[in-house]
Amino acid sequence: MRQAGRSLPEYRAIREGTTMLESCMRPDLVVEITLQPVRRYGVDAAIFYSDIVTPLKAVGVDLEIKPGVGPVIASPVRSTDDLAGIRPVEPSDVAFLTESVQELVSQLGGTPLIGFAGAPFTVASYLVEGGPSKDYARTKSLMHSDPKLWHALADRLAEVAIAYLVAQIEAGASAIQLFDSWAGSLSPRDYAQFVQPHSAKVFTALEQYGVPRLHFGVNTGELLGLMSDAGADVVGVDWRVPLDEAVRRITANGGPAKPVQGNLDPALLTAGWSVIEPEIDRILAEGKAAPGHIFNLGHGVPPTTDPEVLHQIVKAVQEKSAQS
């Protein structure tokens, strides 16, 4: 999940004087920052240090990641002409990615590396809104008022995601995650019509590589079946739906049960161990309803989190799951 490293003093120290996007494009920093939480916490897998908008920067979009705000786009995409500003990925665009992943995989030894990309809808939402949004009004309006432009934009972003994910897999990533963080803002009907085909294109293109494909969004309780059917092998669940209920929703329209990932509420990280431990037990018990469970938070790590609490959670989950 995003920002696992942000609460670490060693992360803040190494990022001193470097913008977020600069740090994502420097293999030495990417390698070191990815390893920091692995060293500290002994987690079972590493998540590649990057961002969902890094590929946009690589293909020429003028943007920055503002601290405390998120990705901000200099010229939002609102017309067919604006599409020209997002060119296809060329091999030289992903050279830094290949170098970073190869070095990481060799340093990680047996610990798997999860590569990732942003899904077409969530990346498009930044491009169309110009930055973070509460209601995604311009993005939804564009889908309905100019479906041709919407589908052209989403298709281009699916191509970008495929190029990025393939580069990570070919360089040695063990699994990939497609983040559709803000898809939960859509009705199931709009998701099925405007979003699912584009995410499905990404998953289908990756099928031949045989690596597990994870899919996650926030507030996607109503979409879990559709997101699973898009082609995910593992379905990420935030904290709003318990994992056993998530399994029911994944299978509700006749699809197969799938492993799930989640779903500790990040807000509880500051509530004390007497609150957190029973939550871990509950989540591990409910996760048994799925054919597999990757314990995780329901979303990113808040920057004020005490690293010791995360360490305690990792240890407890490893011990408890080894016993059962």
**Residue with smaller CB distance to ligand CP3, 15 or 240:** 15
From the candidates 2, 87, 240, 248, which is the catalytic residue? 2
Contact between residue 114 and residue 48 where contact means Cβ atoms under 8 Å apart: yes
Contact between residue 260 and residue 290 where contact means Cβ atoms under 8 Å apart: yes
Nearest to 169 by CA among 205, 201, 195, 200: 205
Q: Among the candidate windows 68-76, 92-100, 154-162, 194-202, which touches ligand CP3 by CB under 6 A?
A: 68-76
**Residue with smaller CB distance to ligand CP3, 3 or 312:** 3
Which residues are CB-contacts of 138 (< 8 A; sequence separation ≥ 6)? 76, 78, 128, 129
- β-pair partners for 33: none
From the candidates 11, 51, 156, 213, which is the catalytic residue? 51
126 is in an annotated binding site: yes
- Which stretches does DSSP call E strand in the chain? 46-47, 63-66, 70-73, 113-118, 175-179, 213-216, 234-236, 260-264, 293-297
DSSP SS3 for 233: coil
Q: Based on the shown chain and the rule CB under 6 A, indicate whether residue 6 belongs to the binding site for ligand CP3.
A: yes
Beta strand 175-179 pairing with 63-66: unpaired
The pair phi, psi for residue 25, each rounded to 5°, is -105, 5
Q: One-letter amino acid identity for 210? A: G
156 is in an annotated binding site: no
Alpha-carbon span 253 to 311, nearest angstrom: 38
Q: Based on the shown chain and the rule CB under 6 A, indicate whether residue 49 belongs to the binding site for ligand CP3.
A: yes
Q: Tell me, yes or no, if 51 is annotated catalytic.
A: yes
**Residue with smaller CB distance to ligand CP3, 92 or 317:** 317
Q: One-letter amino acid identity for 70? A: G
Q: Based on the shown chain and the rule CB under 6 A, indicate whether residue 164 belongs to the binding site for ligand CP3.
A: no
Q: Based on the shown chain and the rule CB under 6 A, indicate whether residue 51 belongs to the binding site for ligand CP3.
A: yes
- β-pair partners for 263: 296
Binders of ligand CP3 among residues 244 to 273 (CB under 6 A) are none
Q: Based on the shown chain and the rule CB under 6 A, indicate whether residue 20 belongs to the binding site for ligand CP3.
A: yes
Q: Among the candidate windows 65-73, 93-101, 105-113, 287-295, which touches ligand CP3 by CB under 6 A?
A: 65-73
- Closest distance to ligand CP3 from the beta carbon of 274 (Å): 27
Q: Based on the shown chain and the rule CB under 6 A, indicate whether residue 298 belongs to the binding site for ligand CP3.
A: no
For residue 241, give both structure tokens: 């739906």
Q: Among the candidate windows 43-51, 153-161, 274-282, 285-293, which touches ligand CP3 by CB under 6 A?
A: 43-51
Q: What is the DSSP letter of 197?
A: H
Among 14, 27, 29, 70, binds ligand CP3 (CB under 6 A): 70
Residue 178: enclosing H or E segment and its boundaries? Answer: strand 175-179
For residue 303, give both structure tokens: 């920057």
51 is in an annotated binding site: yes
**Residue with smaller CB distance to ligand CP3, 124 or 147:** 124
Task: Write the interaction track for ligand CP3 spanning residues 176-215; mark x where CB under 6 A is met and - where it is not.
Answer: ---x-x----------------------------------
181 is in an annotated binding site: yes
Distances (CA, A) of 35 to 178, 309, 321: 21, 19, 24
4 is in an annotated binding site: yes
For residue 135, give both structure tokens: 């209601």
Block residue for tokens 């990641």: 65
| Residue 3: CB atoms within 10 Å | 16
Q: Tell me, yes or no, if 126 is annotated catalytic.
A: yes
- Closest distance to ligand CP3 from the beta carbon of 66 (Å): 7
Annotated binding-site members: 2-6, 51, 126, 181, 299
Catalytic residue IDs: 2, 6, 15, 51, 126
| Residues lying near ligand CP3 in the complex (CB under 6 A) | 1-6, 15, 20, 47, 49-52, 65, 67-71, 116, 122, 179, 181, 299-300
Annotated binding-site members for substrate: 2-6, 51, 126, 181, 299
